[in-house]
Amino acid sequence: MKEISSAEEMHNLGAKIGAQLIAGDLILLNGDLGAGKTVLVQGIAQSLEIEGVTSPTFVISKSYKGVLPLIHVDVYRLLDSGKAALFLDDLDLDSDRENSVTVIEWGGAESARLSDQRLEITIDRSDEIRKVSFNCVGERWAGFSA
């Protein structure tokens, strides 16, 4: 677990994670609104030489070109529908995922089924210091360190 006390530290953590990514990687991010999920993604994007990353809350999914392409998805609005898995399938993420890094904010069970090799990150902002925990799923993430 990492303790993060500023947006800059969250961004730097994302950059450190991003430097370890390869094509096909799936990252699921969870945490309350305002926890720092998008800031973490911006750090990941920076390490992939991508600028201008914003939250895809209203468009659901955005793709960016970089050293590795980044697919940034926010399923928050899909969760209220009760059909998040169905709508996630409609995004057709599988067609681009093998050549990209995919980061899904609010990535729960419906997102986890996309790969048995994934990094699950949870950000707890219950106090001033955010606590970031990692669940490494699959052989790809064995030995991961942030």
Helices (runs of H) and strands (runs of E) counted in the chain: 6, 7
Please give the Cα distance from 146 to 141 (Å, whole number): 11
Q: pTM for the whole thing?
A: 0.88
Domains of the chain: 2-138 (3.40.50.300)
Asked if residue 145 has pLDDT above 60, the reply is yes
Asked if residue 103 has pLDDT above 70, the reply is yes
Q: Which residue in 88, 96, 78, 90 sits closest to 112, CA to CA? A: 88
Interval 12-57: pLDDT, tens:
999 999 999 999 999 999 999 889 999 999 999 999 999 999 887 6
Burial of 89 (0-12, 13-18, 19+ CB in 10 A): middle
| Cα 34 off chain centre by | 15
Q: Are 123 and 40 in contact (CB under 8 A)?
A: yes
Please give the Cα distance from 140 to 7 (Å, whole number): 28
